[in-house]
Structure 1
Amino acid sequence: MADAEATAADKRHDQLTSAPKSTERDADPRIDVSKHDGATRIDIRDDAAFRPGAGAEQSSDS
């Protein structure tokens, strides 16, 4: 597919699945974007495989 014909979703999928050990799950959506009364809300999906926050090496006890 030529870059001029590729959609943003196609480019995202290609980028997230091009690593040697990547899977289709790596390209799954991780956020939901919605607009309410002119404000844009971005929510992390409950089913997202990767979520922002403290990594495994960080403890919440610190």
Structure 2
Amino acid sequence: MEIVVALVFSAAVLFGADRLLLWLESRGHVNWRRKGRRRLSDEPVGRLDSMLSDHTGR
């Protein structure tokens, strides 16, 4: 009986976490299931990246 309670509890926790992440996704805080991953190649180059890369060809 304890294993059934443990399984139900873990399923409830996972379901609650999923609903929380979907709510956060609808607010724009995280990408969870509904939206795909961002393509990093489409993102602009940050200032730190441009400062660290060698554009002079030395």
Shorter-chain TM band: under 0.3
Larger strand share, 1 or 2: 1
Larger helix share, 1 or 2: 2
State the TM-score, normalizing by the size of structure 2: 0.27
Q: Whose radius of gyration is greater, 1 or 2?
A: 2
